[in-house]
Structure 1
């Protein structure tokens, strides 16, 4: 009676992870493992503060408009459009979350993160200086585009921490409503405050924040090809239809 040869787990893994599959791009690139972080001391404190500050700005922008809407309407008019102040921010934030999440697994997260923060600040500047309700809505939409990537990037940067630290840092940020409606500085400072915080943390993002690329061997064209563009189109269409249904089904259109 012949005995069947025993196949070791090492041989099995070699068969599965064949060089041919890797050369064809069918096996995903192994992500760099982050054990102990490379930044320590005061630089690490500045890094955490910069990331949490930008995540705080995104959380603030999701709630601040609800508090300053009466002041905005009194200043700019356009009561029939005020519901778009929230929807213009939420729509790109929701529809772009999947493709931004995938992009952070392919491109250098430092520069992608900084680009999203810059887009968010441009939207905040337009919102704060808006002379009309339409301009304010456009600014809110631009801020939503950058804010979504900024928030996803802040979560992605948790990989530069140790496993024990991640839950602590992620749990520190909670949404906070705006208090500018009750102050004497005016509703525009509900958006201008973002610019001052960005100016304070931008040097940290540029010179201290570590670069991390999960797919360093891929060319930019290959990285763009790995993004799920078809899924993005369908998901974006679904989010748009959902938000539009809520908009046209609100009290303004009753």
Structure 2
């Protein structure tokens, strides 16, 4: 029988089948022969992966049911019950509020930091206020992918959020700089699962081709927290107390917890019962890898912080020992991860995929530019322009608004045109140029120039923000997306922790050297100890212009780093792939 006869036979048989509605005849009711399915059904429902029955096996329907009930399998896209209408609005509102609070927490402290350093006399701890949060966040981040893979998404998400709220409370009642640093670490532990969980929930709530628009809306609206943070932080610091920068998370958090408790969160994977999942923790969660990575990261941050804070000389045995210990522990960690293979905390084969590591580099660049700007622009405005905390927040609005507006715009445009790589390339170039222009700022730079420089830098970041997320979603099979997102956000948070510490080293070193050059009669140690807003009370009137110039020049040095990190965005964008996301993704496809 030739192919034409086969086609005729199938046509006769198919014509003899009574017409049926979708509700009366589903894919499960059809013959198990894969030729019966359309090309799209074979691709989307995973029919091609169904084992055909032999004489010794059950029917195709029984085999499909057995496979579909296996924990860890993905729910085919055409069988998912997506959120629509009020359900989708409520879920998005809760998720946006969660990410809003997380980003607000990162940016609200930026304008309060000068006041906090004055309160605790702790300018050398500036880097730790961010890095303690970031390092705790980064250490736990890969484990969150395992959590969302094996446990209920909604309740895991709420658990991380409540831990973040506890950390916020501890920050608000801190009585010393050390307590504040520890409290920031607790908040970071909770925040480790918030961004990954938000993206996971959004990805499961809508079809894949609608994901860019929803992620754009999520990132754009939640980034209002970045915009409102400096302004709100400045207002609270100036009018009430810097402690309210953390107290504010509590009432909003209560509202979020209430909403999340009553909404349905779709599960993209079939999850085992909680007791069965708990038994697999030791084997699946790679706690040994976690125990190796944590000291490696902490030693690295301690070396950078001690060196930048002047606690020890860079060539001292303590600093060298910390760097060596970090490197040695990290090598052991990599060997262990290679041994664990696909069950590793950081699966090396997954990271080896070009689209994955390119997306991670892109996200690291974005994290670096955001955190440098968020922490050092307020210091520039408050030290050089003598702005109040509120005024410095207002001065940062061009940067934040550019980021928010173009984040939403690019998300909608990517969903329409289908290709995301051009947006990352353009955004990276724009952010690098903006960062370079920021490095040209002096005490006499006009308002129009520094507004334009910030707009350019913020718009560049906005264009690129959702690209690494979309690239990960489209480059990994469904079963690996949650883990891929965890690695992506892990790289984001770890990069933020390291880069802010490097920026602190550059700023402190630059300030000490430029004070000698521009204000030789001023007591450099007294200026540094007084903080960005308090130095005017410890130097003479004649030395103030020189100190201001030293602060401006030190900010320029951090802007050089900003531009260099933004260049990483531009270069990494070329590796994210020329992919049309409007085409349906095969469930078992590995890119």
Q: What is the CA distance between 1:44 and its match in structure 2?
A: 1.7
Match of 2:176 in 1: 132
Decide which of 97, 102, 107 is 1:58's aligned counterpart: 102
Q: Is 1:207–2:251 an aligned residue pair?
A: no
Distance 1:223 1:132 in 2: 37
Match status 1:197 vs 2:240: no
Cα gap change, 1:11/1:37 in structure 2, threshold over 3 Å: closer, same or farther?
closer
CA distance in 2, matches of 1:160, 1:101: 18
Cross-structure match for 2:76: 33
Whether the 8 Å contact between 1:50 and 1:205 is mirrored in structure 2 is yes
Q: Equivalent residue of 2:158, what SS?
A: helix
Is the contact made by 1:34 and 1:159 (CA closer than 8 Å) also made in structure 2? no
CA distance in 2 between partners of 1:78 and 1:159 (Å):
44
Task: Report the equivalent of 2:186.
Answer: 142
TM-score by length of 2: 0.37
Q: Deviations over 1:69-128 (max 9, x none)?
A: 111123344444343211210111111111111211110011110000000001011111
Moved more, 126-135 or 232-241: 232-241
Is residue 69 from structure 1 mapped to residue 113 from structure 2 by the alignment? Answer: yes
Q: Which has the higher helix share?
A: 2
Q: How far did 1:179 drift?
A: 2.1
Provide the TM-score with structure 1 as the length reference: 0.81
- Aligned runs of 1:77-226 on 2, under 5 Å? 77-157=121-201, 158-172=203-217, 173=219, 174=223, 176=226, 177-183=229-235, 184-210=239-265, 212=267, 214-216=270-272, 218-226=276-284
**Deviation (angstroms), 1:240:** 1.8
Larger radius of gyration: 2
Cα pair 1:94 1:148 within 8 Å, conserved: yes
Offset at 1:161?
1.9
Calculate the aligned-residue CA RMSD, in Å.
3.0
Task: Confirm whether residue 48 of structure 1 aligns to residue 92 of structure 2.
Answer: yes
What is the DSSP-based 3-state SS (H/G/I as helix, E as strand, rest coil) of the residue aligned with 1:118? Answer: helix
| Distance (Å, rounded) in 1 between the aligned partners of 2:111 and 2:190 | 22
Higher relative contact order (Cα pairs below 8 Å, separated by 6+ residues): 1
Unaligned runs of 5+ in 2: 1-33, 35-46, 53-65, 314-591
Report the Cα distance in structure 1 between the residues aligned to 2:214 and 2:285, rounded to whole angstroms.
Answer: 29
Q: Distance in 2 between matches of 1:156 and 1:134?
A: 34
Any conservation in 2 of the 1:73–1:79 contact (CA below 8 Å)? yes
Partner of residue 5, structure 1: none
Alpha-carbon displacement from aligned partner over 1:53-79 (angstroms, at most 9, x marks no partner):
111222222233232111112334444
Q: In the TM superposition, what is the alpha-carbon distance from 1:38 to its structure 2 partner?
A: 4.1
Return 5+ residue gaps in structure 1 as ranges.
1-8, 16-22
1:18 corresponds to: none
How far the C-alpha of 1:216 sits from its partner, in A, is: 1.9
Q: Aligned partners of 2:83, 2:125: CA distance in 1, in Å?
A: 47
Q: Do the aligned partners of residues 170 and 79 (structure 1) sit closer, same or farther apart at CA in structure 2, a change above 3 Å counting?
A: same
Is residue 234 from structure 1 mapped to residue 292 from structure 2 by the alignment?
yes
CA contact 2:125–2:309 (8 Å) conserved in 1: no
Give SS of 2:230's match.
Answer: coil
What is the aligned residue count? 238
SS of equivalent residue, structure 2 residue 193:
helix
